[in-house]
Amino acid sequence: MKSNFQSGNANRATAHRAMTRAARMICLSALALLFAGCRMDMHEQPKYLPYQPTTFFDDGRSERPVVPGTVARGQLRLDELLYTGKENGVLSNKFPFPITRADLERGRQRYNIYCTPCHDYTGSGRGIVVQRGFPPPTSFHIDRLRGEPVGHFFDVMTNGDGSMYSYASRIEPDDRWRIAAYIRVLQLSEHSTVQDVPESERQKLTEQNPGQSQ
């Protein structure tokens, strides 16, 4: 009698374990089908590929024009002087931030990288590509460019001029201003006199060039 009772309990336990395993398998299968179905939905969603035509719009293009007034993230450029070199639509002779010695050093570095191939290291327009046949740019030292507002140089770097293309995608706005400041330094260096040198520094020049007339 006892043996039959124990045998019955063992059979029930075995059956319970089998049902539990079956229930787990069913749940896992259902989850797998659910996830697979979601993945297929994402892969098979209705969409247009780039440049794919459509008959839905009159112009036949699936790409739609940007809504007027749309501003891309990070492109809200409200500072007219900083981003255009102008104030009230007119080229400005002001810098949008104070120019320090560090800014001039950075401007010199950027100028040497981007500008010297055409303008050379002095700004005279005899860079290496000019020596090899490229049309020479105007020297920074002519009276017309010496009289241009500093915003002019920023504007040319931003939008290009003549055979010079835009550098807006290559040089950040702050660095364009630093280059413009360094161009002013080059212009001053070519047309300065000893009287423009601080008195504390003139003695050094005299010692370096003892035979040079002041």
Nearest to 185 by CA among 85, 107, 98: 107
Q: Is 176 a residue whose pLDDT tops 50?
A: yes
Indicate whether this model's pTM tops 0.85: no
Among 17-26, 74-83, 141-150, 182-191, name the one with the lowest average pLDDT.
17-26
Any domain includes 43:
no
CATH code, domain with 87 = 1.10.760.10
Any domain includes 141:
yes
Any domain includes 53:
no
CA distance 66 to 107: 36
For the chain, what is the radius of gyration of the CA atoms? 37
The parent domain of residue 174 ranges over 80-194
Segment 186-195 shows an average pLDDT of: 86
Segment 73-87 shows an average pLDDT of: 92
Any domain includes 149:
yes
Beta bridge partners of 53: 61
Number of domains the chain is built from: 1
Any domain includes 29:
no
| Continuous segment of H or E residues that includes residue 80 | helix 80-84
